[in-house]
Chains A and B, each alone.
Chain A
Amino acid sequence: MPELGKYAAEVLLAYGASGAILGALIAVTLWQARAAKRDEER
Chain B
Amino acid sequence: MSIWEYANPVRFMGWTGRLLPWLWGGAALLVVGGLVWGFFFTPDDFRMGSTVKIIYLHVPSALMAINGWFVMVVASLIWLIRRHHVSALVARAAAPVGAVMTVVGLVTGAVWGQPMWGTWWVWDPRLTSFFVLFLFYLGYIALWQAIEDPDAAADLTSVLALVGGVFAILSRYAVLFWNQGLHQGATLSLDAEENIADVFWLPLVTTMAGFGLLFLALVLTRARMHVRLRRARARMLRTRVA
List A residues at the B interface (Cβ < 8 Å). Answer: 2-8, 10-11, 13-15, 17-18, 21-22, 25-26, 29-30, 32-33, 36-37, 39-40, 42
Contacts and interface: CB of A to CB of B under 8 A. Distances in A.
A26 to B, nearest CB: 7
Nearest to A17: B107
A11 B49 CA distance: 10
A42 B57 CA distance: 40
Contacts of B107: 14, 17-18, 21
Contacts of A2: 39-40, 50
Max chain A CB contacts within 10 Å: which of B97, B111, B114, B232?
B111
B100 A25 contact: yes
16 contacts: A10-B111, A10-B112, A10-B114, A11-B54, A14-B53, A14-B107, A14-B112, A15-B53, A18-B104, A22-B214, A29-B97, A29-B221, A36-B226, A36-B232, A40-B228, A42-B232
Interface of B: 35, 39-40, 44, 49-51, 53-54, 57-58, 61, 96-97, 100, 103-104, 107-108, 111-112, 114-115, 214, 218, 221-222, 224-226, 228-229, 231-232
B183 to A, nearest CB: 17
Contacts of B221: 29-30, 33
Nearest to B223: A33
A5 B112 contact: no
Contacts of B57: 14-15, 18
A15 to B, nearest CB: 7
B112 A40 contact: no
A39 B96 contact: no
